[in-house]
Structure 1
Amino acid sequence: MFRRVAYVAIAAGLLTSAAACAPITTYSGFQAIEANPKDVKVGTDTKSTVRASLGSPSATSTFDPNVWFYIDQIKERVAFRRPVITSRNVVAVTFDKETEVVKSVDTMSL
């Protein structure tokens, strides 16, 4: 009887320690729920349609307000270790200065 209780206690301890080593994933930044920045059409979409479908940008360019950035990243952390960025995506949407129509959509990743 004592051995059975000891085996159960050891098994519970091993399962608990294995669960403690599972990575904790954190998502931050722009999250595409209904629309994706890659769906923006060059030459047809404008600032107002992009803002309506994607929402406000994560950042705008310092030197040109006609460049919008949508940024997201995924971090993983195991136990007490420092978080590691596993994925980072930046979508830059450039608009024409006069007509406010999309000129280009560039996707950059980590």
Structure 2
Amino acid sequence: MRKTAILAASLLLLPLTACLTPSRDFHGYIPDEVQPYDIKPGEDTRSSVSAQLGSPSTEGLFDTNTWFYISDVQERFAFYKPKVADRSITAIRFGEDDKVDEVLRYTAKDGQVISYAARETATRGRELGLWEQIFGTVGSVRLPNSDEATPDNPTGRQR
């Protein structure tokens, strides 16, 4: 009897262990053989970086001489919001001769929280209230004797 109760309790609690184990999601650049920080300044060129690492995650917005390789690992416990477990950003800056000038490495600790203005841009027109949306078309129903063109009366003339 006691062994049966323990077995039943174990089977009931087994699905709950899945909630205690975090699921990991990998986003962005995942290196194959060569790591982005293995690139040597002064030796590698734009074409050798492209051949070794592939295309970058993104390029600089105003300066296309900087390539970024971004990878992100997030952990999620059950139904909670995912949290960043690891973030790696490698910036490779090229000089005028297409050789690598410098390789910069950033982690999640280097990031900064940016506050932005949550204002909305006003648009033309007006917003309808609930009652206007419900009863707004009550007076605009056309009578069948109107001079409106319909599929069965393309000219709109009264018959």
Q: Please, what TM-score do these two structures have when normalized by structure 2?
A: 0.65
Shift of 1:32: 1.0
* Aligned-residue CA RMSD (Å): 1.0
Shift of 1:18: 1.8
Kindly report which structure 2 residues correspond to 1:60-71, keeping only aligned pairs within 5 A, or say none: 60-71=59-70
Shift of 1:4: 2.5
Residue in structure 1 matched with residue 135 of structure 2 by the alignment? none
Tell me how far apart the structure 2 counterparts of residues 102 and 85 of structure 1 sit (CA, whole Å).
30
Q: How many residues align?
A: 108
Tell me how far apart the structure 2 counterparts of residues 39 and 88 of structure 1 sit (CA, whole Å).
18
- 2:15 is aligned with 1:16: yes
Identity of counterpart residues, as a percentage? 38
Shift of 1:26: 0.5
- 2:100 is aligned with 1:102: yes
Unaligned runs of 5+ in 1: none
Shift of 1:19: 2.6
Shift of 1:17: 1.1
Q: Which amino acid aligns with 2:104?
A: D
Between structures 1 and 2, the one with greater strand share: 1
Q: Which amino acid aligns with 1:49?
A: S
Shift of 1:6: 2.0
Q: Which amino acid aligns with 2:50?
A: R
Structure with larger Rg: 2
Unaligned runs of 5+ in 2: 109-159
Tell me how far apart the structure 2 counterparts of residues 75 and 104 of structure 1 sit (CA, whole Å).
28
Tell me how far apart the structure 1 counterparts of residues 43 and 77 of structure 2 sit (CA, whole Å).
45
Kindly report which structure 2 residues correspond to 1:22-101, keeping only aligned pairs within 5 A, or say none: 22-97=21-96, 99-101=97-99
Q: Which amino acid aligns with 1:57?
A: P
What are the superposed Cα offsets for residues 23-68 of structure 1, whole Å, 9 maximum, x if unpaired?
Answer: 0000110001111011101001000000000000000001111000
Higher RCO, 1 vs 2 (CA within 8 Å, ≥6 residues apart) = 1
Tell me how far apart the structure 1 counterparts of residues 17 and 82 of structure 2 sit (CA, whole Å).
19
Tell me how far apart the structure 2 counterparts of residues 4 and 101 of structure 1 sit (CA, whole Å).
70
Residue in structure 2 matched with residue 4 of structure 1 by the alignment? 3
Tell me how far apart the structure 1 counterparts of residues 89 and 17 of structure 2 sit (CA, whole Å).
35
